[in-house]
Chain A
Amino acid sequence: MFSLEAEPCPPHLNLHNQDLSRDEFAAMPGPANKKQKREQYKNARQGGSTTELPKKKFYRQRAHANVFSDHDLVYPISPAYMDWATYYPAYAEPEVADSIESTTSQTQDISLKAVETQDGSDGNGATSSEAIPMKAKDMRKLKQDVEVADIGCGFGGLLVALAPKLPNTLMLGMEIRTQVTEYVHERINALRLQNSKEGLYQNAACLRANSMKFLPNFFKKDQLSKIFLCFPDPHFKARKHKARIVSTTLNSEYAYAVRPGGIVYTITDVEDLHLWMVEHFEKHPSFARVSEEEQEADECVEVMRMETEEGQKVTRNNGQKFVALFRRLEDPPW
């Protein structure tokens, strides 16, 4: 496995590796042989080049990650430095881009030539979640941008159901828990291989990220047409409100990433959280609630209800699901 600790940060990425081991151990309480079993299992998966779907039990992780902590996160310095081609190889331009346009020629030290491979992987898309591609030297552009983000995607049910329904749209799951991200990654890889003839699932990918801090590192202004916030953690405690994925101030960041006309989808089984999200989006001047009629006509809503892992749990328990959609409005002139 590649080590985040040993290597210097490549110029195009910010690597804040803050105590990888602690996070990993926290993720896997219990006897050491559990960890061994996981490793054996994962090794047997041949680096993801198998059609066999991964088993969830090898990827479980403590429920709550601290969204304020300096995790061992890897993120691009800016969207221009994001090597999307490793995530969506089927959508990559054949040519290697030799310069990043958004930086000027005066900034030589961030030129891509000097960048070395950090993870030793072959960059074919089968890298694990931490290994956000670092081979900027070989960075190929995508023919189209990612347009859909599933924030806190969990085990990836929504992505996997949505990918064939929106076959020409690139969608990205963002998940803060390493193990869970890895599971989704393996899951998508297996599905890609199973469906290689039809070319399905090439439009879905997942990476590890703290979306509350680093969304603008991944997405340009107005890049997204849809954001999904499915069954977010409720954070009941008042003092934890800043940890919620929906807040007045974070909604400004969603408004930045979503283009006017785009939709933010929310669903939860916690009524108070639903009311909270409605209140905070409705009072945000950049959003307006989508009518129920329009909401029910949107095919994504059914997917959100029935295909997310959390949605399925709620169904099994005969629980209620609260849905609310919000349209990104045009900004007034300034």
Chain B
Amino acid sequence: MPYQCIDKRRNLLIAARDSSIDLINLENGSYLSTWTCPWPEKPQISKPEIEQPSKLLATQESQSSSVDIVIDSKSPPAKRRKLSSGEADKDLIKEVEPETQGTSTAKVTKNGNEKNQKKQKQNNRSVAIAIGLEAPAIIALAVTVNNKHVVAVTGEDKCIRVFEIVDEADVSKLHQVSERIMPKRPSSIAITPDSATILSADKFGDVYSLPLIPSLDQDAQSATPIAERPFKPSANEKTIHSQRNRIALENQKRHHNSAPKNQLPTFEHTLLLGHVSLLIDLKLATLEGKTYIITSDRDEHIRISRGIPQAHVIESFCLGHREFVSRLCIPTTRPGILVSGGGDDEIYVWKWKNAELLCKADLKTHVNEIVSESAKEKKIAVSGIYHTNHEGVDFVLVTVEAIPGIFVFKLIDTTLTHVQNIFLRGNALGVVTTPSRVITSIDTIHTPASTIELRSSDKPDSSFVTFKFTNGVLEEDSDFKIAGVKDSEIVDADSVENKRMKNLLYSIENLRKRVGEIDGGEAEDG
């Protein structure tokens, strides 16, 4: 399996493939250990979270416009789950505990409008995907500044997991120390410079902060000072005088009995800020001793908010993108600069504090230099922006979803200039940089530039490719090899595994607004 996200900590490469995290020694490329996410029903997950799915069922039924998935109750627990991270904003499916359900099929409600049919289609597919799946996949990784902890997000269960990096007999391992199920699926996480707080941006548009290490006594009650309380419908016919409101109240009453109470997590978490849009990336910045939270969304916005405890103050918006903004990068050497990219043909460079656009650098032209003629018309979606400094020169490395290459730019003063295209044997997935090297994980199961077509399996490829600077240019470092991990293979392009893999590895382009599509499936139905 290819590694969908990678990060590093000093000499440690932390690499997530499907629902496992491998640790690899970055000095010699040797394999160290693997943590594998347990199946959701195992006792690692505490009671409140287990209760959640059945409550969600109630929510769904009350809406009469959505579809519930009930997988055959005879199938083993581990095989029940909902669609993986990939389906981004189309995440309309809620998991259902079979114990609470007698039925065993996906049921579709009467209301057969266009939207429901769309949902039904997605859900039918997810039923297929749901069968035969295992543990939830890792969709985001972060390492604390003090290098002691790794934080990972597993998608299907919306879980933030914190690991301690422990060394046992000279071998680094991940020990999970906590898991917290978030109200909505996190899409991006960051950790404050003091290594004390996790910030999580979710698909509902909200950013929460939670302590890296949950304190025990606070766990009992929700310490969410600004969480929204349930709204009791104490309005009645006498207090309502407009047709609009009367209709709203009638709807409310109709759904009254099945409406669940707010399922707030029981651990400490604080709502810091929110967009009415799906959040894709979140970065923390520090400028002149002050911290800032930078968030990007599906509606072309980049928002600059103050850091904790003044995250309610919006400093500015960097507006200029015409499509979703999927990746943000603040060069460590240039903390006032923000490089952003998404569904546009260009990469943008900002002086983020006062929202000043400094330059735009064309990316599409360079992507077209490495793709076949037929793919030149395709839209691009930026999947990664990374910074590295080599001999005093700032380099910005850009990857594009389902494109087998890295696009290298130099950041000089306020201008981003293209210097090099790196060709890869597989689509670029993740990148980490060390002072001497650039390591990229590639898609080893699909053919380059494809998200579906499988490679012939008789020629196994290494999941990582390493580059080093030679005369200011990145060249493959074939001396440096990273140990491969033997893994299961996908043999059928039409298989549910392959579709799931596609959703896990290639989910960004799905965020593009399309004709006739409803945004915020979660926002609406969550």
Task: List residues of chain A with CB under 8 Å of any chain B CB.
Answer: 9, 14, 16-19, 22, 63-64, 66-70, 77-78, 102-104, 106-107, 109-110, 212-214, 216-217, 221, 231, 233-239, 241-242, 247-253, 255-256, 269-273, 276, 283-286, 310, 313-314, 316-317, 319-320, 331-332, 334
Contact = CB atoms under 8 A, between A and B. Distances in A.
A250 B274 CA distance: 7
B171 interface: no
User: Which of B234, B514, B515, B526 has the most chain A CB within a 10 Å cutoff?
Assistant: B515
A221 B303 CA distance: 12
Q: Top 5 closest A-B pairs, CB basis?
A: A249-B274, A68-B520, A236-B252, A78-B319, A319-B241
Interface residues of B, number: 71
A269 B248 CA distance: 13
A255 B299 CA distance: 20
Contacts of A16: 513
A252 B314 contact: yes
Nearest to B318: A78
Nearest to A321: B241
A319 B238 CA distance: 8
A185 to B, nearest CB: 21
Interface string B22-50: 00000000000000000000000000000
A334 B259 contact: no
Given A9-B322, A104-B358, A239 B239 contact: no
Given A14-B322, A236-B231, A249-B271, A70 B247 contact: no
Contacts of A271: 234-235, 239
B316 interface: yes
Contacts of B241: 269, 313-314, 316-317, 319
B518 interface: yes
A68 B90 CA distance: 13
B369 interface: no
A241 B516 contact: no
A77 to B, nearest CB: 6
Nearest to B314: A256
A253 B519 CA distance: 20
Contacts of A317: 241
27 contacts: A9-B322, A16-B513, A18-B514, A63-B243, A66-B518, A70-B518, A77-B319, A104-B358, A212-B276, A216-B301, A235-B248, A236-B249, A239-B525, A239-B526, A249-B205, A249-B274, A252-B313, A253-B314, A269-B240, A272-B231, A283-B226, A310-B244, A314-B242, A319-B239, A320-B239, A331-B313, A332-B310
B174 to A, nearest CB: 33
A78 to B, nearest CB: 4
B262 A66 contact: no
A102 B526 CA distance: 38
A313 B242 contact: yes
B504 to A, nearest CB: 25
B271 to A, nearest CB: 6
Contacts of A248: 226, 228, 271, 274, 312
B310 A334 contact: yes
Nearest to A20: B515
B276 A213 contact: yes
Nearest to A71: B519
Contacts of B228: 241, 247-248
B360 A109 contact: yes
B357 A103 contact: yes
B517 to A, nearest CB: 6
Contacts of B520: 68-69
Contacts of A236: 231, 233, 235, 248-249, 251-252
A106 B299 contact: no
Given A221-B316, A238-B231, A238-B259, 7 more contacts: A18-B517, A66-B518, A70-B513, A269-B242, A270-B239, A313-B241, A331-B313
A237 B312 contact: no
A106 B513 contact: no
Contacts of A78: 317, 319-320
Contacts of B514: 18
B518 A237 contact: no
B356 interface: yes
B230 interface: yes
Interface in B41-65: 59, 63
A271 B245 CA distance: 12
B245 A106 contact: no
Contact of A216 (B240, B305, B319): B319
